């Protein structure tokens, strides 16, 4: 029998038990009695001599029988006719066992029912290995063998497969477990990864997600992030090649953020949350390890930023005064999405005295106008991350996100003669031919206002964008699929 072949079911009754189960111990006299009255085969998971007194006892040492027949609880009793299972019951229940065996008066000296125990085949420490050995799918990626004396973590560093931090070695068992996080086929090509435009399968994304420290339930978000940044619209190749410090900033919306435990509150842009920290890192490792986007090679950033390790967070939707930022891209509220934005490191913005929306909008405008350079306009989008103590001002005044964005855009319009090269004795600026125009800092829909952060602190944050539009990058929002 091959590893993937379904083990044959013996005719009659089949019981699956293990010694390390009080309920299995409890029903030993019942099993002995059943063997005398009917055709019974007992499969034992952990002790070839258990239960004593049974003649037709088979040791499921490799757990192949239990795995292939989906035994989740012991004891499990199966009824088999012509080699096919016709019914089953788990644990001990007198009424269920009598119905399945068609024998009345079973276990008259036993309690009416007792719950069973977990099958060894679903033990978290064992089941990934069983999936590898018996499952229909297998890992197709080439396995790299390290020498016996090599330290695995150091070997991964030496081969250039890390971002400078330790990674989780992607064993077959870990990758198989990661792939359980999505219904998509491991062979499905997710995207062509820049700069090498290497085709990347779901399996390759899963490998890098393991290395980043992701849990399987994060994988759909990682896949969506990879899809978003590898579009022509986002222009990941250009973002790598620029000497500016920018990197993908991923904003997650929808119920999935809470389901996988993402942080949208205190320290939202910082460390400490596994989902936030590893999802963005996984996307960056895919760019590095599959696409070849490494610092000092195609990645030409003069400074870079911590965001190049990974930058991902969730929007704080539950008490936001505004619809999710994903609605700006046409998705209904409640849709699971990832927005990829080409951004730099965040900087804090303080206003502890404003209590009306226009005053606070003026503070925002005064700070936003300095992105990249106060005299450079129209070229750079921005994220304005608004924390609850500031958002309360807009909620109480009934200001929509669109109203706030429009007011900031009004306040950041400046006359061209203040922005041209040489104005203010600063050579940087816009061409002389634009001196007679009034120019806004941001292009239409270039300002992304996101609700997030801790509930205490009269702060907001600014994440400046890279060169936006056809000459650079546009944000991309995609739906997360299971």
pLDDT in tens, 254-311: 999 999 999 999 999 999 999 999 999 999 999 999 999 999 999 999 999 999 999 9
* Band of residue 136 on the pLDDT scale cut at 50, 70, 90: low
Same domain, 184 and 246: yes
The residue whose two tokens read 């306009």 is 377
Same domain, 107 and 158: no
Structural domain contains residue 419: yes
Same domain, 73 and 167: no
Domain end call among 99, 134, 169: 134
The residue whose two tokens read 């400074």 is 303
Q: Is the pLDDT of residue 76 over 50?
A: yes
Structural domain contains residue 421: yes
Structural domain contains residue 366: yes
Token digits for 187?
């062979």
Which residues are CB-neighbours of 123 under 8 A, at least 6 positions away? Answer: none
Same domain, 422 and 302: yes
* DSSP secondary structure string for all residues of 291-307: T---BTTTB--SS--GG
Same domain, 216 and 348: yes
Same domain, 101 and 186: no
How far is the C-alpha of 333 from the C-alpha of 316, rounded, in Å?
A: 13
Query: For position 84, which CATH number holds?
Result: 3.40.30.10
Of the candidates 308, 191, 190, 195, the one whose C-alpha atom is nearest the C-alpha of residue 246 is 308
Same domain, 79 and 192: no
Identify the H or E element spanning 84.
strand 84-90
Same domain, 379 and 235: yes
How far is the C-alpha of 341 from the C-alpha of 250, rounded, in Å?
A: 6
* Band of residue 137 on the pLDDT scale cut at 50, 70, 90: low
| pTM of the predicted model as reported, rounded to 2 decimal places | 0.81
Same domain, 114 and 167: no
Same domain, 372 and 464: yes
Give the pLDDT confidence of 383-434 residue by residue, as tens digits.
Answer: 999 999 999 999 999 999 999 999 999 999 999 999 999 999 999 999 999 9
Q: Are 280 and 268 in contact (CB under 8 A)?
A: no
Domain end call among 83, 101, 134: 134
Structural domain contains residue 371: yes
User: Across the strands, what pairs with 341?
Assistant: 249
Domain extent for 194: 154-479
Same domain, 196 and 324: yes
Token digits for 424?
């203010």
How far is the C-alpha of 407 from the C-alpha of 43, rounded, in Å?
A: 73
Give the pLDDT confidence of 317-350 residue by residue, as tens digits.
Answer: 999 999 999 999 999 999 999 999 999 999 999 9
Domain end call among 104, 134, 164: 134
Structural domain contains residue 34: yes
Structural domain contains residue 312: yes
* DSSP secondary structure string for all residues of 398-450: T--HHHHHHHHHHHT-EEGGGTBTTGGG-S-SB-GGGTTSEE-SS-TT-EEEE
The runs of H, that is alpha helices, within 38-79 are: 64-68
Three-state DSSP class for residue 308: helix
Same domain, 416 and 308: yes
Which residues are CB-neighbours of 6 under 8 A, at least 6 positions away? Answer: 68, 69
Structural domain contains residue 259: yes
- What mean pLDDT is predicted for residues 93-120? 95
Q: Is the pLDDT of residue 197 over 60?
A: yes
Structural domain contains residue 6: no
What is the number of structural domains in the chain?
A: 2
Give the pLDDT confidence of 199-232 residue by residue, as tens digits.
Answer: 999 999 999 999 999 999 999 999 999 999 999 9
Token digits for 149?
């004396």
CA neighbours closer than 13 Å in the CB half-sphere of residue 1: 12
Residue 189 sits at φ, ψ, to 5 deg, of -80, 120
């Amino acid at each position: 029998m091959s590893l993937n072949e379904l083990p044959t079911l013996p005719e009659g009754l089949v019981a699956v038990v293990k010694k390390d189960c009080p309920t299995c111990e409890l029903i030993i006299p019942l099993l002995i009695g059943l063997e005398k009255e009917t055709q019974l085969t007992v499969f034992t998971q952990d002790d070839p001599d258990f239960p004593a007194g049974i003649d037709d006892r088979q040791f499921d040492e490799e757990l192949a029988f239990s795995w292939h027949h989906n035994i989740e609880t012991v004891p499990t009793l199966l009824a088999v006719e012509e080699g096919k299972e016709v019914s089953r019951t788990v644990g001990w229940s007198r009424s269920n066992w009598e119905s399945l065996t068609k024998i009345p008066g079973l276990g008259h000296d036993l309690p009416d029912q007792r719950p069973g125990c977990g099958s060894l085949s679903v033990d978290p420490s064992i089941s990934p290995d069983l999936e590898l050995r018996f499952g229909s799918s297998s890992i197709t990626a080439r396995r790299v063998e390290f020498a016996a004396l090599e330290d695995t973590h150091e070997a991964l560093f030496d081969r250039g497969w890390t971002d400078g931090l330790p990674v989780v070695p992607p064993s077959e068992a870990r990758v198989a477990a990661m792939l359980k996080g999505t219904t998509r086929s491991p062979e499905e090509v997710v995207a062509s990864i820049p700069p090498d435009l290497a085709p990347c399968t779901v399996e390759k994304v899963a490998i890098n997600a393991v290395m980043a420290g992701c849990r399987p339930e994060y994988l759909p978000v990682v896949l969506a992030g990879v899809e978003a940044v590898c579009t022509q619209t986002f222009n990941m190749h250009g973002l790598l090649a620029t000497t500016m410090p920018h990197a993908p900033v991923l904003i997650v919306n929808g119920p999935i953020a809470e389901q996988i435990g993402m942080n949208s509150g205190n320290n939202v842009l910082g460390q400490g949350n596994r989902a936030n920290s590893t999802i963005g890192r996984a996307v960056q490792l895919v760019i590095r390890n599959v696409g070849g986007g490494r610092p000092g090679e195609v990645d030409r950033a003069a400074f870079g930023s911590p965001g190049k390790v990974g930058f991902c967070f969730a929007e704080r939707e539950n008490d936001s005064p505004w619809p999710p930022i994903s609605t700006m891209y046409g998705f209904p509220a409640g849709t699971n999405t990832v927005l990829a934005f080409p951004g730099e490191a965040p900087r804090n913005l303080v206003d502890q005295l404003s209590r009306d929306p226009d005053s606070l909008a003026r503070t925002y405008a005064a700070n936003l106008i300095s992105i990249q350079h106060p005299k450079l306009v129209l070229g750079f989008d921005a994220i304005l991350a608004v924390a609850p103590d500031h958002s309360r001002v807009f909620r109480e005044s009934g200001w929509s996100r669109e109203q706030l964005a429009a007011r900031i855009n009004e306040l950041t319009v400046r006359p061209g003669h203040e922005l041209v090269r040489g104005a203010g004795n600063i050579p940087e600026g816009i061409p002389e031919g634009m001196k007679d125009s009034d120019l806004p800092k941001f292009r239409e829909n270039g300002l992304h206002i996101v609700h997030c952060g801790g509930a205490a602190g009269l702060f907001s944050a600014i994440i400046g964008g890279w060169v936006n539009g056809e000459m650079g990058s546009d944000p991309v929002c995609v739906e997360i699929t299971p």
